[in-house]
Amino acid sequence: MARVLISAATDDELDGHEQRQLDRHLEGCRSCRAHADAVASLARTMRLRSAASEREFVTRLMARSRPARLGRGGWLRPALAWCGVVIAVQSVRPLLLAEIDGAETHIARHLGASTLALAIGLLYAAWRPHRAFGLLPFVVALLATNVVSTVLDTIDGNRSAVAEAVHVIEMIGLVLLWMVAGSPGWDRMRDRVRTLRCRREAVRATN
């Protein structure tokens, strides 16, 4: 029982009564006192040991991190916020008035709600740019499905290309969000292009 209390005391899990009970026992028990000293010494060694240097881990972690990039002069955040405001304004009519080219009230309000959600996401990324990378997959999926529906509506003649031009601001917002997120995939694409150029030059040199 005393050794269980000693272990709990090491983790600061004893209440006042249990701690006093343990202290009284240790005063009269040399064996348990020696055990308590050994446990305390081991705990200090484990907690105060120096941290091992893991350069490879730090390198891998930094390579996978996505710090925000705000552009020269920090223009990306205001531009992204402007896109969010414009998209939010565009969502007012379908969301509150349920008016969008003769669509049913339920459908119009759903479209307005999704558009407002997109605007809130862009505004949040402009406020907290380090969150932009986490929002990117959602925004890409949302706008990709919108592009597909736009193309189908245009082909079917339900909407004109001019009427669908309202989605241009959404695409601009996506590009800005991608840039703020650190342009993921751009470095990999650039490395591939560079590799292909090197291969072509090597082939030309051998010929």
Confidence of residue 164 (pLDDT cuts 50, 70, 90): low
Please report the pLDDT score of residue 74 as a whole number. 81
pTM for the whole structure: 0.59
Q: What is the 3-state secondary structure (H, E, C) of 90-142?
A: HHHHHHHHCCCCCCCHHHHHHHHHHHHHHHHHHHHHHHCHHHHHHHHHHHHHH
**pLDDT value at residue 49:** 57
Contact 113, 95 (CB under 8 A): yes
Mean pLDDT of 102-126: 84
Whether 8 and 2 have beta carbons less than 8 Å apart is answered as: no
Q: Does residue 163 have a pLDDT over 70? A: no
For 57-97, how does the pLDDT look when each residue is reduced to its tens digit (9 = 90+)? 666 666 666 667 777 668 889 999 999 999 999 888 888 77
pLDDT at residue 35 tops 60: yes
